[in-house]
Structure 1
Amino acid sequence: MKCPFCQSPDTQVIETRDVEDGTALRRRRRCGHCDKRFTTYERAEVSFPVVVKKDGRRTEYDRDKLRASFLLALRKRPVSADAVDTAIGRVEQMLLQSGARELPSTQIGAWVMEELRTLDGIAYVRFASVYHSFKDLSQFLDVLQEMQPPSPAAKPRRGKTPT
């Protein structure tokens, strides 16, 4: 690393610390030539797949767009920012693990729906209504019925048997 003051390549690391929840390193350095100190940051560079929209357009993955989708669905819902960040992290992990160079936006939307379903049922229905372009109330009802836990099977009555 060259010194930003004198351009000397003779610098040494004085201190290293994790920052941003372990996603980056902060390094304090000292120049061996001019003795000035400066800070550098190291982050892993990851390459997300290109997002292919429904109309065929291709765009770069944008974390802010993903966050905006989550926040819109979760508007005025009792879900913490940490829970949202964790869900976004899981979607990003799936993006990276897919290994694809290009990924349809529909797949990303499906992953978002899975995360919203576990975070908040109302947010899930909100997102699903836009994602699936609901045209009428029956489509809402179908999603709501999907979310209902299965009713317990009718259990036989115990006790006296009729005579």
Structure 2
Amino acid sequence: MKCPYCSSADTRVINSRPSDEGASIRRRRECERCGRRFTTYERAQLEPLMVVKRDLHREPFNPDKLLRGLMLATEKRPINHELLRKFAYSFEDENPTHEITSEEIGRRAMLFLKPLDEVAYIRFASVYREFDSLERFIEEIKGLKDQ
């Protein structure tokens, strides 16, 4: 495994343990060159989940990409990051087909965030729904107040 800090290929596993109820293995690693530690997750991948984008091209689902979006939306909010990680990595396990649209991913993420934190929900919605005006943004906020 290549070190994310110095790009050295000389890393060693310090600790391994099951994660996500046995669906993955969490490994703590240490770089032999720079001495920094980092965590990796190993999962079995039978057939990759493909994301159908708005322009209809397909790309492999990357849970880290979704997790980054969720982390940005929840920045400085009182939300457990492990909960976000579990949600992002659940798409591959819960999807009955091998394809999912980017719109469906965004819709599920918004449904996940809405009861957790309204501010994070609005932050995520502002990117996902591509608000083109202040009025659309205000409508979304009013929709939250009405519920």
Which interval holds the TM-score relative to the shorter structure? 0.5 to 0.7
Question: TM-score scaled by structure 1?
Answer: 0.60
How many residues align? The count is 116
Distance 1:132 1:24 in 2: 32
Q: Flag the structure with higher helix content.
A: 2
Give secondary structure in 1 for the equivalent of 2:76: coil
Give runs of aligned pairs for residues 51-66 of structure 1, distance below 5 A. 51-66=51-66
Residue of structure 1 in register with 2:88 after alignment: 88
Q: Percent identity?
A: 32
Alpha-carbon distance change, 74 to 96 in structure 1, aligned in 2, over 3 angstroms: same
Q: Distance in 1 between matches of 2:50 and 2:76?
A: 31
**In structure 1, which of residues 93, 100, 110 is the aligned counterpart of residue 107 of structure 2?**
110
Displacement after TM superposition at 1:141 (Å): 1.4
Cα drift, residue 56 of structure 1: 1.8
Work out whether 1:133 is the aligned partner of 2:119. Answer: no
What is aligned with 2:98? 101
Structure 1 match to 2:19: 20
1:19-74 superposed Cα distances (whole Å, 9 cap, x missing partner): 2242257xxxxxxxxxxxxxxxx954343421011112211011110111101111
Deviations, residues 77-128 of structure 1 (Å, cap 9, x unaligned): 11121222233245x1xx5444223221111111111111122111111111
Q: Residue 114 of structure 2 aligns to which amino acid in structure 1?
A: R
Q: 1:56 to 1:65 in 2, by over 3 A?
A: same
2:53–2:101 contact (8 Å) kept in structure 1: yes
Q: CA RMSD in A?
A: 2.6
2:144 is aligned, of 127, 142, 147, to 147
Query: TM-score scaled to structure 2, two decimals?
Result: 0.66
Question: What SS does the aligned partner of 2:55 have?
Answer: coil
Distance 1:43 1:139, change over 3 A: closer
Corresponding position of 2:68: 68
Structure 2 contact 51–102 (Cα < 8 Å) conserved = yes
